[in-house]
Structure 1
Amino acid sequence: MKDYAALLIASALFAFLSPGLLFQMPGKERPFEFMNMKTSVASMFLHAVIYGLLIILFLVVLDIHIYA
């Protein structure tokens, strides 16, 4: 059996945590902006850190597996 948890979780987090798609933190004018579809270097770095921490949480700490 193959384990698809890592692929699904990583793909979903990458899509949802793209800066400017759902939210951007820090924003251009405000600290937190919703759906502005713009980005900055600080925003990309912060979203990458959040992405990494969530991947570690789901795959290492919680040990989630999805078998197909």
Structure 2
Amino acid sequence: MNDWAAPLIAAVLFAFLQPGLVVQIPGKERPLDFLNMKTSIASIFVHTILYGLLLILFLVVMHLHLYV
């Protein structure tokens, strides 16, 4: 059996936490922008921190597993 939770969670978080795709924190004119398809260095940094923290939450703290 293979544990598919880690790659699936990482891929989904990566897809949804791309700056400007769904949400951008911080935005250009506002603290939170939706679907603006633009990015900045500050936004990349914030999304990287959020990605790492959520990945740690799901994989280390919650011990999620998906066996196929």
TM-score by length of 1: 0.99
Following superposition, the deviation at residue 31 of structure 1 comes to: 0.7
1:44 paired residue number:
44
Following superposition, the deviation at residue 3 of structure 1 comes to: 0.3
In the alignment, the residues of structure 2 paired with residue 56 and residue 31 of structure 1 have an alpha-carbon distance, to the nearest angstrom, of 25
Q: Does 1:23 align with 2:23?
A: yes
Deviation beyond 6 Å, 4+ runs, structure 1: none
1:1-68 matches, cutoff 5 A: 1-68=1-68
In the alignment, the residues of structure 2 paired with residue 44 and residue 33 of structure 1 have an alpha-carbon distance, to the nearest angstrom, of 14
1:4-60 Cα deviation digits (max 9, x unpaired): 000000000000000001110100111110000000000000000000000000000
Q: Give the unaligned 5+ runs of structure 1.
A: none
In the alignment, the residues of structure 2 paired with residue 25 and residue 47 of structure 1 have an alpha-carbon distance, to the nearest angstrom, of 7
Instruction: Report the count of equivalent residues.
Output: 68
User: Which residue identity lines up with residue 63 of structure 1 in the other structure?
Assistant: H
Q: Give the unaligned 5+ runs of structure 2.
A: none
User: Which residue identity lines up with residue 7 of structure 2 in the other structure?
Assistant: L
